[in-house]
Chain A
Amino acid sequence: KQEVTQIPAALSVPEGENLVLNCSFTDSAIYNLQWFRQDPGKGLTSLLLIQSSQREQTSGRLNASLDKSSGRSTLYIAASQPGDSATYLCAVTDSGNTPLVFGKGTRLSVIA
């Protein structure tokens, strides 16, 4: 059964720092991997989706990489801002028609 782990569980950084969030998954036979953002008491917002054939995706200050063979993904946030404070969740799906399996998330605080 697929399991997703995110490290660290919580992270606090000063404004302006670059940072990396980590995600690992136990079964490398994934269809795609997604990163989401969740603000307190809210739903999830999709940030980046990486198909299994891709190595990375970029959106603005965010860059996500995927190393399927080692079962790892990283989310890189450049020049962090207080507005980036949220919980970031990683999720994978094993095929196109199976639900996403989520990690427990990393709670990020960016201090002004």
Chain B
Amino acid sequence: EAQVTQNPRYLITVTGKKLTVTCSQNMNHEYMSWYRQDPGLGLRQIYYSMNVEVTDKGDVPEGYKVSRKEKRNFPLILESPSPNQTSLYFCASRRTGSLYNSPLHFGNGTRLTVT
């Protein structure tokens, strides 16, 4: 089954304790992206990657890091989490090229709480 898999689904941590949220896709997609979703706001892009070893900042990159060493994996790293990073995070992937024929596939989300 074609899917984007995020882990963990739920994570509670304390301020300053480094964490990584993993994302893996099995569709051989070049493009991958991380979003955060907060009440009253639409999905906001954190980082994206056009292909292996190519990453770029989205709209809200502060406090986050990513890496793209393999095509299928795109982990999101919070080096020193803070309470304002408490949010619902989604990883997504798609083929590159025209957006018209390659919709985003989303994972089921990671609920992060930073105390």
Q: Do A and B bind each other?
A: no
Chain A residues at the B interface, C-beta cutoff of 8 Å: none
